Amino acid sequence: MATNISYYGAGTAADTEAVTDNINFQLKLRRYHTGRESRIVTSLTLLKTHLFCYESHVSAALVFGGVDVTGPHLYTIYPHGSTYSLPFATMRFGSLVAMVVFET
């Protein structure tokens, strides 16, 4: 999405790619107009608003994070648009095994 933002898709590949491409374009426009680095909260708001509008008909779940002027951030974003801020995150297939490793 940006040099300071990264994500891992945990939904249908086509839906995840379409959603992230759309948000990536919006972020590029904002960077062009403002001349500043993208903020994590701006990206998060764009993503969850987009997903909320489709009421879970878009199967795109993301582990999303990055670093901006306010520090490091990590979120999980679900297909219906809800988000959680966590110190570490896993989603979907294999997430229970990964969570055990993280918690240990």
CATH number for the domain that contains residue 15: 3.60.20.10
- Cβ contact 17:43 at 8 Å: no
The conformation of residue 89, written as its DSSP 8-state character, comes to: -
Q: Look at 24 and 56; give whichever has higher pLDDT.
A: 24
Which phi and psi angles does 66 have, rounded to 5°? 170, -170
Which of 6-10, 28-32, 56-60, 84-88 reaches the highest mean pLDDT?
Answer: 28-32
Q: Tell me the average pLDDT across 10-34.
A: 87
What pTM does this model have? 0.78
Structural domain tally of the chain?
Answer: 1
Q: What is the pLDDT of residue 37?
A: 87
71: CB partners within 8 A, 6+ apart: none
- Domain holding 85, by residue range, is 5-103
Q: How far is CA 100 from each of CA 16, 44, 94, 96, 104, rounded to the nearest angstrom?
A: 26, 27, 10, 6, 6
